C-alpha cells in the first residue's frame, strides 16, 4: 500500500506539466476521463491489498473495492491542485484529514498511513 501511494500519490505535483495541461478549461472532459480511469484501474489492486490486510488483521474494512473507490475518488477530487485554490498550508491540512479518513475507513491503526504526508514528520 505504501509503495502504491508513495509512487502515484493522489494530489502529488511531481508531474506538473501534465497536471497543468489537464487543468486547462478546454481539457476538462479529458481530465474527468483521466480521473475516472485512474479510479477504475487502481481500485482493484488496492482492494486486493485491503483484502489481504483484512485476512492478516492489519485492516478491518467491509466492502474493500467500494471503500477504495470512494476513498480514491474523494481524495483525487479534493487534492487535485487544479480544482481548488488551496494554499500549500490548506492542502497540507486536507492531506492530514484524508490520511485519518483512510485509516478509519480501512480499520487501520492510527498513524499507519503517515507516509501519505511526507511533509509531516513520521512518529
Cell digits of residue 22: 489537464
Q: How far is the CA of 5 from the CAs of 2, 27, 45, 64, 84, in angstroms?
A: 5, 25, 12, 16, 21
pLDDT at residue 38 in the model: 87
**What DSSP line would sit under 7-33, residue for residue?**
HS-TT--TTHHHHHHHTSGGGHHHHHH
pTM here is 0.79
Q: Give me the domains of the chain, ranges plus CATH numbers.
A: 2-116 (1.10.357.10)
Q: Residues with Cβ < 8 Å from 56, sequence gap 6 or more?
A: none
pLDDT at residue 3 in the model: 77
User: Tens digit of pLDDT per residue, the chain (123 long)?
Assistant: 887 776 444 445 555 676 666 667 676 787 778 888 889 999 999 999 999 999 999 999 999 999 999 999 998 888 876 678 888 899 889 989 999 999 999 999 999 999 888 765 544
Cell digits of residue 25: 478549461
pLDDT at residue 104 in the model: 97
Amino acid at each position: 500500500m505504501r509503495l502504491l501511494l508513495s509512487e502515484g500519490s493522489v494530489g502529488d505535483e511531481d508531474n506538473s506539466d501534465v497536471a497543468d495541461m489537464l487543468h486547462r478549461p478546454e481539457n476538462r472532459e479529458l481530465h474527468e476521463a483521466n480521473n475516472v480511469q485512474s479510479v477504475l484501474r487502481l481500485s482493484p489492486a488496492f482492494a486486493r491489498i485491503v483484502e489481504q490486510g483484512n485476512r492478516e488483521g492489519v485492516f478491518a474494512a467491509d466492502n474493500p473495492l467500494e471503500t477504495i473507490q470512494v476513498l480514491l475518488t474523494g481524495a483525487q477530487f479534493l487534492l487535485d491542485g487544479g480544482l481548488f485554490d488551496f494554499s500549500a498550508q490548506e492542502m497540507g491540512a486536507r492531506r492530514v484529514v484524508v490520511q485519518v479518513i483512510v485509516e478509519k475507513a480501512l480499520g487501520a491503526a492510527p498513524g499507519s498511513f503517515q507516509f501519505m504526508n511526507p511533509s509531516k514528520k513520521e512518529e
